[in-house]
Amino acid sequence: MTDFNDEEITDFDEILQNNIPESLLPKIQKLLYGHNVKKLKVLDEIETLSNVFNFELKSFRFSAEKEELRMPRIVRVGLIQNHIVLPTTESILRQKNALYTRIKEIIAIAAKAEINIICLQEAWNMPFAFCTREKQPWCEFAECAETGTTTKFLQKICKELNIVVISPILERDEIKSDIIWNTIVVIDNNGIVLGKHRKNHIPRVGDFNESTYYMEGNTGHPVFQTAFGKIAVNICYGRHHPLNWLMFGLNGAEIVFNPSATVSGLSEPLWGIEARNAAIANGYFTCAINRVGTEVFANEFTSGDKKPAHNKFGHFYGSSYVAAPDGSRTPGLSRIRDGLLIVELDLNLCRQVKDFWGFQMTQRLEMYAKSLSDVVNPDYKPQIIG
């Protein structure tokens, strides 16, 4: 199913490891990833299972200083990136069920590594079909956030395994006019739906014709208080918007997940930058997740790039990673394989970094609240000298 070009790189870090001399490698890695990321050892059984079930497993940890008044607040997050399982021409139910089966097996293995919070990729229970601009059958994939099949499927798992799952889906608002949204559902570790959030910023670029299907979200910037810390979700294209990241921070988020679907040739030079910058600027952890593989559709479509009509989306390049508030980040998952990235965080690092750097104290929010209010005035005169 994948359309990966053999000449492309599959794993950036592997190339470094295979070519940079041992004496230099840690220094190069430190420049690339910062000083505060270490490998995390997981049970051999988990390694074995990842091979059996054919997905890549990487695991790291970020540490924090010991404090007198607060105990460490250790959380393990799991980021899952995956191909769709069946061709996009299969029935909706078969496609969904195949993805349920695949995700269930990965989550079960993740749970053995004592993961607390799992985030799935954007619109994880379907192909990313918005390239087609066809309304059907893709709108049929949409489900009620609170009572849909996908939510029910995950509720059972969350309760059974005592984990929080962030489930990005296409939402059908059955109560309000059947409108469709791009939504994440947060399911708590007791199996109850804690809440949902709708994507704030919608792309109109290349094959990402999402504005044909849903509008800008109307749920603000909620932070979800879970048993494992305060989390928020910046969905996909929202990662290009520093203000979106900012508001999740101002509402108290300690981890912000960024479930995405994005392709090489489009966003790859931006991928390692944006979520990491957000972690630095806002004093929280960020978890960037991208799907993998090339999805093929029955009917041809064009991409607004002057090229002939075609049936394939570009290559979703995976490369999921986690960034810490101190600017460190993990290496990424593979560019082509399904994968599980396990990362152990000490949430105490967030406040420690804020105290150290002082970005929040020095950010002059009052000035910018006023500046932005001025700018949105249609008569705003930019401050230009000369």
Cβ pair 338, 83 in contact under 8 A: yes
Minimum distance from residue 135 beta carbon to a copy of itself (Å): 22
Cβ pair 189, 151 in contact under 8 A: no
Q: Is 188 in the site for a copy of itself (CB under 8 A)?
A: yes
244-283 residues near a copy of itself, rule: CB under 8 A: 245-247, 250-252, 267-270, 273-274, 276-277, 280-281
The question of whether 199 is a catalytic residue gets the answer yes
Cβ pair 222, 195 in contact under 8 A: yes
Contacts with a copy of itself: how many residues (CB under 8 A)?
81
The question of whether 56 is a catalytic residue gets the answer no
Which of 72, 87, 137, 327 is in the footprint of a copy of itself by CB under 8 A? 327
Tell me how crowded residue 248 is: count the other CB atoms within 10 A of its CB.
Answer: 29
The catalytic residue among 131, 236, 287, 350 is 236
Minimum distance from residue 136 beta carbon to a copy of itself (Å): 26
Which of 9, 43, 92, 93 is in the footprint of a copy of itself by CB under 8 A? 9
Closest of 96, 209, 213, 205 to residue 154, by C-alpha: 96
Would you say 64 or 106 has its CB closer to a copy of itself? Answer: 64
24-43 residues near a copy of itself, rule: CB under 8 A: 24, 27-28, 31, 33-35
337-366 residues near a copy of itself, rule: CB under 8 A: 356-359, 361-366
Minimum distance from residue 370 beta carbon to a copy of itself (Å): 8
Give the type of residue at 317. Y
Minimum distance from residue 89 beta carbon to a copy of itself (Å): 31
| Cβ within 8 Å of residue 97, ≥6 positions away | none
Pairing outcome for strands 285-290 and 310-317: unpaired
80-109 residues near a copy of itself, rule: CB under 8 A: none
The question of whether 122 is a catalytic residue gets the answer yes
Burial-class residue 180 by CB neighbours within 10 Å (0-12, 13-18, 19+).
Answer: middle
| Cβ within 8 Å of residue 158, ≥6 positions away | 164, 165, 187, 188, 189, 190, 191
Q: How far apart are CA 320 and CA 122, in angstroms?
A: 12
- x/- map, 202-231, a copy of itself, by CB under 8 A: xxxx----------x---xxxxxxx---x-
Would you say 19 or 177 has its CB closer to a copy of itself? Answer: 19
Burial-class residue 240 by CB neighbours within 10 Å (0-12, 13-18, 19+).
Answer: middle
Supply the residues annotated as catalytic.
Answer: 122, 199, 236
